[in-house]
Amino acid sequence: MAEAWWVEVGEGIWVRRHAELDLSLGLVVGERSCLVVDTGGDEVQGAAFAGAIRELTELPWVVVLTHAHFDHAFGTAAFPSDEVWAHPACRRELEETGERQRQEWVTRYRKENKPEIADQIRRARIVLPRSAPEGDVDLGGRIVRFIHPGPAHTGHDLVIHVPDAHVLFAGDLLEQGAPPAFGDAFPDVWPEALDRVLALKPTTLVPGHGDPVTADFARTQREEIAQVAELCRLFQEGRITTEQAIERSPYPAEFTSEALSRPRRRGGR
């Protein structure tokens, strides 16, 4: 399979799938401009994505970041634009954690004997986004909406809704092919965020990693995350042990342990 390839999910809407990290980036094309959804994990990957976009359209682009994790945001310097948007807290997160993320992933890729990727991340310039506009954004004959459904995978997730095509870019609120990542998550309120996403009635949802999915897939993953959230509550109340939570979880131990370490959004510890 190619290192990166396009999947069309609607008229003028594509997902750029990547073998590395099973990453999914997005493109929404209107009549006057196009919207780039996330930019990849470094400038080399970002530049390859930008080049692939230019094979589809020459329209000027604007960029939106679904959240501040490196694999979605470190490729932004490859997209020269005065309009790079995200949730306001995404900028703060990149300022506060960008260098830590860089070192973590450079170290990880070196341990995995992937020095080229490690070096690309080491050299990536971090671009700080502006606050995304509220309400509808008109690309020319096509409206897109940026929606913060509440804390979930992070405290600053944005989803991108394309109402005319019933397509929604979910960022890492959804993952296909692997369990959701809980390292910066708020498990107790994540299911409610997915309820708000599903209330938009999308037909196709694009996860941050993996193939596009249906609403039924999203509902199933929502229920799994709700199970994890309940295990977190019981654990934090001292009613079950770590081992019992892992045994009952729909996800592997690594992911469940990560969730158990996260604070509760509604009070709690």
Report pLDDT digits (tens) over 1-33. Answer: 369 999 999 999 999 999 999 999 999 999 999
Domain 4-215 coded CATH 3.60.15.10: yes
pLDDT tens track for 194-243: 999 999 999 999 999 999 999 999 999 999 999 999 999 999 999 999 99
For the chain, the average pLDDT equals 96
pLDDT for residue 135: 85
What is the pLDDT at residue 26?
Answer: 98
Region 61-76: what's the mean pLDDT?
Answer: 98
| Residue 90 to residue 161: CA distance in whole angstroms | 19
The secondary structure of 116-140, three-state, reads HHHHHHHHCCCCCCEECCCCEEECC
If you ran DSSP here, which 8-state letter would residue 246 be given? H
Rounded to two decimals, the pTM is 0.96
Domain residue spans of the chain: 4-215
Tokens 């941050």 belong to 208
Q: Per-residue pLDDT tens for 203-215? A: 999 999 999 999 9
- Residue 81's pLDDT is 87
| Mean pLDDT computed over 244-264 | 97
